[in-house]
Structure 1
Amino acid sequence: MSSAAPEGEPPRRAGSRAAAKARTHENLLDAGLAVFADRGYGAASVEEIARRAGVSVGSVYAHFSSKEKLFLALIERRADREFAAAETELADGFDAVLPALDRRLREEADSDHLAMLGAEAWLYAVRSTEFGEGLAAHQARVQQVVAGLVATERERRGVAWSLDDSEVAAVVDALYRGLVQQRRLRPESVADDLFGRTLTALLRGLEVPPPG
């Protein structure tokens, strides 16, 4: 009698393995976020991340080749989620997305883990050439996506701006990061809707009057 598995069973097993691997991947990122925020990048260890995630050290390296790669993946995950949300919200127009942008800035500035993650990323980037290159590549990707969103808004308005889309994206990115840091240090200095109001004023000020 044949001992072959019933038809369809291997795909289910493969799917189950893939789902388990994806869950472990996410658990490791969640654990990394907590450990990096608590310890700082330099003091954080792969061993502690593994313990926090409930897996072996070997499992960490099976998903990420180094602590640095895990850290960058953590930053990428957050960016991916932000991009997806922004693209969905922009479908209803620029004005509709402003409250969500303000809310995300507040959440990042007011969250111990998120604020520390951003600070740790920048600090380690200026100390490590290799990590700095990885973070620079991530930031270039962020600005490229933001530039695409900026171009969509410019075309929707039917206007020209005095800066090109990539320059506007760089300014918007810097404004966001700066306000996060400022609110973290002095919450009263950054109103809940300051980012959105500043973006509105910025884009209005960039509009080039039509000729004639």
Structure 2
Amino acid sequence: MLKKQIGQASGNGDTELPSRRGRPPGDPEVKRAELLKAATSVIAQEGYASASLRKVAQRAGYTTGAVTYYFANKEELILALIESRFDRYDAMIDDIQADTAIEGLFERWLRLTTGDPEFWPVMSELLAHARHDPKLAAVYKQRYARFRDVYTSILAAGQARGTVRDDIPADLLADQLSAMGDGWALLFPLEPERFTPSRVKELVAAAIALIAPVPGTPR
């Protein structure tokens, strides 16, 4: 009761943390997924600062107490959310890694970031906040590093086959392509009409042309 009074007095919905009275009914994994989906929706539509536990609970149709059973506070919720976003990256990487085809990786990546209208707005919102949140920044650096490492290995394999230019180290090409893709993804929420399926194919083809072997360059 005291915690509730403090929360009401401060006007901060995140301060109100009802005591946990046992696990809410239902499948825990399903409930966690629903809460993460609700958090994604709130952040995409209203921004990170507005994503209080109370708003997430309302969006999911749960009580704030149900949210705090799974996530003790907003920081814990946001960390779980960003991990779940990168899990989707990892699943994409696992699907394409054995193929070592840079075209396939680029196409999958663009489909992932432009196919879900809430995916990249949330990723970019949290990335901006990570500048002032060491824990969130650590998750971004660790999980994004794996994506770049796989990118590098795929490009190195292409260099060995002669399908990717080898006058620039594979890790530098990986950084360049990652930055290019991130730039497209940042623009997509602002100009979705530009990223039609045909244009996405043209963007992929242009990126592949940039990393193609330079004619006359000795191997």
Counterpart position of 1:71: 78
- CA deviations 1:13-43 (Å, max 9, x no partner) are xxxx9x8221111111011111112221111
SS at 2:69's partner residue?
Answer: helix
Give the percent of matched residue pairs that are identical in Structure 1 and Structure 2: 24
Q: Is the 8 A contact 2:152 2:174 kept in 1?
A: yes
Counterpart position of 2:168: 162
Q: CA deviation at 1:208?
A: 11
- Distance between the aligned counterparts of 1:25 and 1:207, measured in 2? 53
Corresponding letter in the other structure for 1:182: L
Q: Is the 8 A contact 2:89 2:147 kept in 1?
A: no
The count of aligned residue pairs is: 187
SS at 1:91's partner residue?
Answer: helix
Counterpart position of 1:196: 204
Q: Are residue 22 (structure 1) and residue 24 (structure 2) matched?
A: no
Which of 121, 136, 148 is the equivalent residue of 1:116?
A: 121
TM-score w.r.t. length of structure 2? 0.69
Shifted more, 141-150 versus 30-39: the winner is 141-150
- CA deviations 1:79-125 (Å, max 9, x no partner) are 211221232134334134443333224325xx1x2243134213323
Q: How does 1:97-116 map to 2 (within 5 A)?
A: 97-108=105-116, 111=117, 113-116=118-121
Corresponding letter in the other structure for 1:155: A
- Listed as ranges, the gaps of 5+ residues in structure 2 are 1-23
TM-score w.r.t. length of structure 1? 0.71
Counterpart position of 2:94: 87
Q: Is the 8 A contact 1:32 1:49 kept in 2?
A: yes
Corresponding letter in the other structure for 2:76: K
Q: Using CA pairs below 8 Å that are at least 6 residues apart, which structure has the higher relative contact order?
A: 1
- Distance between the aligned counterparts of 1:208 and 1:65, measured in 2? 60
